[in-house]
């Protein structure tokens, strides 16, 4: 796992430090109308012209940090600066886009995203599991067909589509429900929900947070629900369910006592492996609703080739993904006694 994280940072570092990207960085940082010679000298002045491997090692903190000729610049421009100051020493570097310490910026943004995700999980997981279990309980029934159609539609709707639809439907002054409700005098605001969630980062309310939460939850829900349904349907066809039925157990007991635990083994892994996908959704949704969280920061950092911030973002993302994989493995063992270590 550490190896994977390391490999990924190497890749990100290499890609962000390609010559054209550095030239772009120079132009955005200094002046957009620099000549090629000026760009080269700017890069040299800031230490970007040295071999990539050395600079990566500095970032990691296994090689002493570089200092500019005048003693300023480089990773550690505080005085007196430690010799090693990379990620291993807890120094995540300086954001060229936001002009601040990466760790401070990212901390805030992660907290904002954490709040958003808390509500997403709270809505999405129970809804998806209930949907899946109800549908898979009696395969082929009318309830199954209806719920499956809902699930398949939400999976087919990416966040940037569902977000747009939700805004048009619920947060537009021109279209959807809001004008109607205003006319009827049912709401005192111009729109039912707010289509911009910038304010939600500081003071989240139902009004400004509902749409981003719904957007992410809807997109993730369909997939989990379909997995749960497939798993539930498969379990309900197992011989041990027939055993339970022919023992004379009522249907409710069969579902709750015999089917549920077995049926949740597969979707549990799916929910956990959903995280990389949810992360994409978070990025799109945060951009769409201008919610200043982790995803929004990532896009800003990438758009401006903010190397340190981008590296930190990718480390966070990768650690998140790998951690969920670990949790999913552990949870799988806990749910499935067959592979429990004896």
Partner 1 sequence: MPLLEIENLSISFQTRGLTIPAVTDFSLTIMPGEAMGLVGESGCGKSTVALGIMQDLGPAGRVTAGRVRFDARDLAALSPRDLRAIRGREIAMVYQEPMASLNPAMRVGAQLAEVPMTHEGTSRREALARARAMLADVHLPDPDRILRAYPHELSGGQQQRIVIAMALMSNPSLLILDEPTTALDVTVEAGIVDLLRELRRKHGTAMLFISHNLGLIRDTCDRLCVMYAGEAVETGTVAEVFTAMRHPYTQGLFRAIPRLAARRATEALVPIPGNAPLPQERPPGCNFGPRCPHVVPRRCDAQKIPMLPVAPPHASRCIRWDEIDWSARPPAGEIQPHAPSGETILRIEDLRKYYETGSGLFGPRAGAIVKANESLTFTVRQGETLAIVGESGCGKSTLAKLLVGLETATSGRILLDGHEVQHLPVEARPRAVVADLQMIFQNPADTLNPAISVGRQITRALEVFRQGASDADRRARTLDLLDLVQLPRAFAARLPRQLSGGQKQRVGIARAFASGARIVVADEPVSALDVSVQAAVTKLLTDMQRETGTTLIFISHDLALVRHLADRVMVMYLGHIVEIGPAEAVFSPPFHPYTEALLSAVPLPDPGAGQRRIVLEGDIPSATHPPPGCPFHTRCHRKAQVPGTLCETVLPPMQRFENGHAICCHLDRGILEGMAPVIAEPSSGQ
Partner 2 sequence: MELGWAAILLRIALRLWPVWLALALSFGAARAFRHRLGFLGRLLDSRTGMTGLALVLFWTFAALLAPLIVTHDPLAQLSGMRNAVPGTPLPDPQGGGYPHYLLGGDALARDVFSRMIAGARAVLAIAPAAALVAYMTGISLGLPAGYYRGRIDAGLTFAANLVIAFPGILLFFLLVTPEIRQTPIPRAMSAILFAIPLAFAAQLIRTRHVANRTRRRALLALTLALGVWAWSGLVLDADPLGLWRMPPNLLNIFIAVVFVSAPVVFRITRGLTLDLASRDYVAAARTRGETPAYIMLWEILPNARGPLIVDFCLRIGYITILLGALGFFGLGVSPESPDWGSTINQGRRLLTAYPHAALAPALALMSLVLGLNLLADGLREESLRD
> Which of partner 2, partner 1, none is residue 7 near (CB under 5 to 8 Å by kind)?
partner 2
Instruction: Point out which span in 1-9, 168-176, 233-241, 313-321 binds partner 1 (CB under 8 A).
Output: 233-241
Pure H helices in the chain: 2-16, 19-29, 36-45, 52-60, 102-137, 142-155, 159-170, 177-184, 206-236, 239-246, 251-253, 260-273, 275-288, 294-303, 307-335
Q: Confirm or reject binding of residue 172 to partner 2 (CB under 8 A).
A: yes
Q: Which of 153, 243, 277, 323 binds partner 1 (CB under 8 A)?
A: 243
> Which of partner 2, partner 1, none is residue 333 near (CB under 5 to 8 Å by kind)?
partner 1
In the complex with partner 2, which residue's Cβ is closer, 254 or 305? 305
In the complex with partner 1, which residue's Cβ is closer, 90 or 239? 239
Count of other CB atoms within 10 angstroms of residue 186: 11
Question: Nearest-5° angle of CA 275, CA 153, CA 297?
Answer: 35
Q: Which of 125, 168, 249, 260 binds partner 2 (CB under 8 A)?
A: 168
Dihedral sign, Cα of residue 77, residue 80, residue 86, residue 92:
negative
Q: Which of 257, 277, 280, 323 binds partner 1 (CB under 8 A)?
A: 257
Q: Which of residues 193-232 bind partner 1 (CB under 8 A)?
A: none
In the complex with partner 1, which residue's Cβ is closer, 189 or 247? 247
> How far apart are the C-alpha atoms of 294 and 283, rounded to whole Å?
7
Across the strands, what pairs with 101?
A: 94
Q: Confirm or reject binding of residue 284 to partner 2 (CB under 8 A).
A: yes
Point out which residues bind partner 1 (CB under 8 A). Answer: 140, 238-240, 242-250, 253, 257-258, 261-262, 265, 329, 333, 335-339, 341-342
């Amino acid at each position: 796992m550490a190896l994977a994280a390391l490999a990924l940072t190497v890749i990100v570092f290499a890609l962000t430090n390609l010559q054209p990207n550095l030239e772009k960085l120079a132009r955005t940082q200094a002046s957009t109308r620099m000549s090629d010679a000026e760009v080269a000298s700017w890069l040299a002045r800031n230490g970007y012209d040295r071999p990539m491997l050395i600079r990566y090692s500095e970032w990691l903190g296994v090689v002493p940090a570089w200092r500019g000729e005048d003693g300023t610049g480089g990773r550690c421009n505080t005085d007196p600066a430690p010799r090693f100051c990379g990620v291993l020493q807890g120094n995540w570097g300086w954001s060229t886009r936001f002009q601040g310490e990466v760790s401070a910026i990212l901390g805030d943004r992660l907290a904002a995203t954490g709040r958003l995700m808390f509500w997403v999980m709270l809505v999405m997981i129970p809804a998806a599991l209930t949907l899946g279990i109800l549908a898979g309980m009696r395969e082929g029934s009318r309830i199954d067909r209806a719920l499956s159609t809902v699930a398949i539609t939400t999976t087919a709707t990416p966040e940037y589509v569902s977000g747009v639809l939700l805004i048009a439907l619920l947060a537009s002054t021109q279209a959807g429900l809001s004008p109607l409700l205003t006319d009827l005098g049912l709401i005192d605001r111009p729109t039912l929900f707010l289509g911009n969630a910038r304010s939600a980062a500081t003071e989240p309310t139902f009004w400004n947070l509902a749409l981003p939460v719904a957007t992410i939850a809807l997109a993730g829900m369909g997939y989990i629900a379909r997995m749960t349904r497939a798993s539930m349907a498969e379990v309900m066809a197992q011989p041990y369910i027939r055993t339970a039925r022919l023992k004379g157990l009522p249907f409710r007991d069969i579902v709750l006592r015999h089917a549920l635990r077995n049926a949740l083994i597969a979707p549990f892994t799916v929910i956990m492996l959903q995280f990389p996908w949810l992360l994409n959704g978070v990025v799109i949704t945060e951009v769409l609703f201008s919610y200043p969280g982790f995803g929004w920061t990532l896009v800003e950092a990438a758009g401006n080739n903010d190397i340190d911030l981008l590296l930190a973002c990718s480390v966070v993302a990768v650690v998140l993904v790998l951690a969920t994989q670990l949790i999913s493995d552990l949870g799988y063992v806990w749910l499935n006694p067959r592979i429990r270590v004896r």
